[in-house]
Amino acid sequence: MLPLPVKTVTLENRMALLGVREEDIVESFIRSSGPGGQNVNKTSTCVYLKHLPTGIEVKCQRQRSQLLNRSLARHILLSKIANKIQQDNLANQSFKAKVMRRNRLKPKGLKKRILEEKRRHAEKKFVRRKIREIEVA
């Protein structure tokens, strides 16, 4: 049995770390565009990958070789998935911190100031009432 290339092993390890399965990736090949002459017109070297659970799409046509583009596309896809996971984790941490700040107890002095401000505001409203409201009450 032939040993696997180092790049393939690291790619598989990274996929396992991120929890990405090969079955979750849709792969198709497209004819590339741009310079390259007859090779571009005859072979489908552009690689299109879509990760179904996240909906992330990648298109790679950097090299003239389909094999290299497949490897590059997978690396780009894994980078995008890792970035999305990191962003989700940061958003979750931020939300938890916000809830903790909102739910923590206020200092006594601050509570006293808030209640005093509410009392003053109620007095202002009381003074502004219409005469009809005062007679009825």
Distance CA 50, CA 74 (A): 10
- DSSP state at residue 4: P
Is residue 24 predicted with pLDDT exceeding 60? yes
CATH number of 6-104, picked from 3.30.160.20, 1.20.1250.20, 3.40.50.10130, 3.40.50.720: 3.30.160.20
Smallest CA-to-CA distance from 61 within 89, 35, 25, 97 is with 35
Tally the residues of the chain: 137
pLDDT greater at residue 3 or residue 110: 110
Q: Which amino acid is at 22?
A: E
Q: Both tokens of residue 23?
A: 């079955």
Share of the chain above pLDDT 70, in %: 84
pLDDT (0 to 100) of residue 112: 94
> How confident is residue 133, by pLDDT bands cut at 50, 70 and 90?
low
**First CA to last CA distance, the chain:** 96
pTM of the model: 0.68
Q: Both tokens of residue 8?
A: 């393939």
pLDDT (0 to 100) of residue 135: 67
pLDDT (0 to 100) of residue 127: 84
> Are the C-beta atoms of residues 63 and 69 closer than 8 Å to each other?
yes
Q: Are strands 46-51 and 56-60 parallel, antiparallel or unpaired?
A: antiparallel
pLDDT greater at residue 51 or residue 133: 51
Average pLDDT over residues 73-87: 94
Tell me the domain boundaries of the chain.
6-104, 105-137
> Are the C-beta atoms of residues 11 and 71 closer than 8 Å to each other?
yes
Q: What is the mean pLDDT of the chain?
A: 86
3-state secondary structure of 59: strand
